[in-house]
Amino acid sequence: MAIPVETFFLSPDAQGTLQAQIQQMVAEGILSGRFQRGEQLPSTRALAKHLGVSRITVTLSYTELQSNDYLTSRGRSGFYVSDNAPEPPSFKTPARKKDTVEWARAIGQRFTGGVTLRKPADWARYRYPFIYGQTDPTLFDHANWRLCAVKALGARDFSALTTDYYDQDDPDLIEFIARHTLPRRGIIANPDEILVTMGAQNALWLTTQILLTPRRAAAIEMPCYPALRDILTQSRCRLAPVAVDAHGLPPDDVPDGVDVIFTTPSHHCPTSVTMPLERRHALLDRARALDALIVEDDYEFETAFLAPPSPALKSLDTDGRVIYAGSFSKSLFPGLRLGYLVGSAEFIREARALRASVLRHPPGHMQRTAAYFLRLGHYDALIKRSARALNTRRQVMETELKRHGLQIAGQSPHGGSSIWVALPEGTDAILLAERLASRDVLIEPGQPFFFGAETPINFCRLGYSSIPSERIPEGIKRIADALR
């Protein structure tokens, strides 16, 4: 790669001759690792013009650097960083002045310190990855995604790619969501009741900013998605954790004074249990009695391979009380960052204004590509293909867990992509996970999903969306072995 002329500046405060200054800039670039071996320097003519110095000054600097082995000359094609140039130091930071800013004081609000669920970045290199929510390259329809993306890069979609939507969304994607995605969940919504978000995470974040303040209270499920807990903690609202049972959130346990109830009725996170219809009605009744709103995170409804999914809680809502968050990042791939928020127009209007302030809009190209992928039926085909694979894997999971005497503590009656496992009393799932990682097995400890003093240590989530079924038996065997 050629080193652009624009990276050179003469400092008005610099010491020494012009020639020395130029030599120093080049040497510093090489020593700091910015200019790398074999890279071409600007021509003497170009650099002289850019810096407003005579060409001979630049030539003399380059020649001097050449005799010091920083540069080599390749005849007419110019000067290059020499293969014998001094190595940049292997430690990362060149010695620099320390900030005089006192950051502890300058930072007005802190956001670090939350729980980040982080899988090893190299999870795909593990042979037995029981991890959750990542893309299985053997299932994802990369070829058709690419075709849709290329279509969305065409001249016809130039505007969808480049345009500044301000606070608006791709109308094609909104139309598909309104006409096809939501009706599958029993939800009828107008375009002004839908907002495209940067994944479900962003949907939950926007909702929290609008509905919660330090004077309000939110009920969350316990255990619960840790990122949601962090979002709510940052909003400084009061938090009322409600323990879930085998049917999800028990409505009667939602305490008085709660303003917003966060729930995952389709598949509870992380146990995967599903809330039955009667309880959904009871939860709506409880919310009505409290005059509370409900935020429904309807994730993973697409993985219903054993039975049709129950309609969303939102579809039963005649009050406008339910705000619905859906995601394409789960069912397609997490790097997509596309989800949607559905609620009354009054609410969506505020969410739209906040989103505009925070980031304007999700990139048009990602929206249009998703719209094509959905509209051409690739999404449905993908869901069906995944469902078949997940179905097989789940059967193997159940058989093998049983064989090794491991106890299933939660799973979805419709399907899902993970099983919640209760390890033997006293087992610390975090320690177990560490031990297993060295044996090529990844599991997800349950601790981060709990909070407060009574965190049980012996739960883990075993995802099967990224492990081929033929590897499951050996993987489960290794877990059982490690437990002994």
- Near a second copy by CB under 8 A, which window of 153-161, 247-255, 390-398, 430-438? 153-161
- Near a second copy by CB under 8 A, which window of 113-121, 238-246, 411-419, 472-480? 113-121
Are residues 401 and 408 in contact, defined by beta-carbon separation less than 8 angstroms? yes
* Nearest Cα residue to 445 out of 465, 434, 461: 461
Question: What does the angle CA 484 – CA 271 – CA 370 come to, to the nearest 5 degrees?
Answer: 120
Q: Using the structure block, give the residue that is written with the tokens 């320097």.
A: 41
Considering only residues 46, 60, 282, 354, which one is a binding residue for a second copy as defined by CB under 8 A?
354
Does 6 bind a second copy (CB under 8 A)? Our answer is yes
- CB nearer to a second copy: give 113 or 405: 113
- The distance of closest approach from Cβ of residue 388 to a second copy in the complex, given in angstroms and rounded to an integer, is 16
Count how many Cα atoms sit within 13 Å of the Cα of residue 204 in the half-sphere of its side chain.
Answer: 25
Q: Using the structure block, give the residue that is written with the tokens 């013009």.
A: 49
Considering only residues 78, 88, 250, 311, which one is a binding residue for a second copy as defined by CB under 8 A?
311
Does 209 bind a second copy (CB under 8 A)? Our answer is yes
- Near a second copy by CB under 8 A, which window of 54-62, 164-172, 404-412, 474-482? 164-172
Question: What does the angle CA 351 – CA 353 – CA 355 come to, to the nearest 5 degrees?
Answer: 65
Indicate the burial class of 352 (C-beta count within 10 angstroms; 0-12, 13-18, 19 or more). Answer: buried
Considering only residues 86, 255, 308, 424, which one is a binding residue for a second copy as defined by CB under 8 A?
308
Considering only residues 16, 89, 335, 424, which one is a binding residue for a second copy as defined by CB under 8 A?
335
Gap between the Cα atoms of 280 and 415, Å rounded: 19
Helix, strand or coil, per DSSP, at residue 301: helix
**Residue 47 token pair:** 């650099």
- Contact positions with a second copy (CB under 8 A) in 222-251: 227, 230-231, 234
- The distance of closest approach from Cβ of residue 227 to a second copy in the complex, given in angstroms and rounded to an integer, is 7
- Contact positions with a second copy (CB under 8 A) in 265-284: 277
**Residue 64 token pair:** 């001097």
Q: Backbone phi, then psi, for 348, in 5-degree steps?
A: -60, -35
Q: Using the structure block, give the residue that is written with the tokens 């419709």.
A: 414
Alpha helix (H) residue ranges in 322-408: 345-359, 364-375, 378-403
Does 202 bind a second copy (CB under 8 A)? Our answer is yes
Gap between the Cα atoms of 298 and 259, Å rounded: 20
Are residues 69 and 84 in contact, defined by beta-carbon separation less than 8 angstroms? yes
- Near a second copy by CB under 8 A, which window of 261-269, 354-362, 387-395, 445-453? 354-362
Report the greatest alpha carbon distance in the chain. Answer: 86
- Contact positions with a second copy (CB under 8 A) in 249-268: 259
- Contact positions with a second copy (CB under 8 A) in 115-144: 116-119, 121, 124, 133-135, 137, 140, 142
- Contact positions with a second copy (CB under 8 A) in 44-83: 50
Neighbouring-strand partners of residue 258: none
- The distance of closest approach from Cβ of residue 67 to a second copy in the complex, given in angstroms and rounded to an integer, is 25
Does 179 bind a second copy (CB under 8 A)? Our answer is yes
Does 417 bind a second copy (CB under 8 A)? Our answer is no
Gap between the Cα atoms of 425 and 406, Å rounded: 12
Considering only residues 347, 449, 450, 459, which one is a binding residue for a second copy as defined by CB under 8 A?
347
Q: Which residues contact 108 (CB under 8 A, 6 or more apart)?
A: none
Considering only residues 67, 77, 90, 93, which one is a binding residue for a second copy as defined by CB under 8 A?
93
- CB nearer to a second copy: give 20 or 188: 188
- Near a second copy by CB under 8 A, which window of 99-107, 268-276, 406-414, 415-423? 99-107
The separation between CA 137 and the C-alpha centre of its own chain, rounded to angstroms, equals 17
- Under DSSP, the state recorded for 445 is E
Does 164 bind a second copy (CB under 8 A)? Our answer is yes
- CB nearer to a second copy: give 171 or 424: 171
- The distance of closest approach from Cβ of residue 408 to a second copy in the complex, given in angstroms and rounded to an integer, is 26
Considering only residues 42, 362, 415, 446, which one is a binding residue for a second copy as defined by CB under 8 A?
362
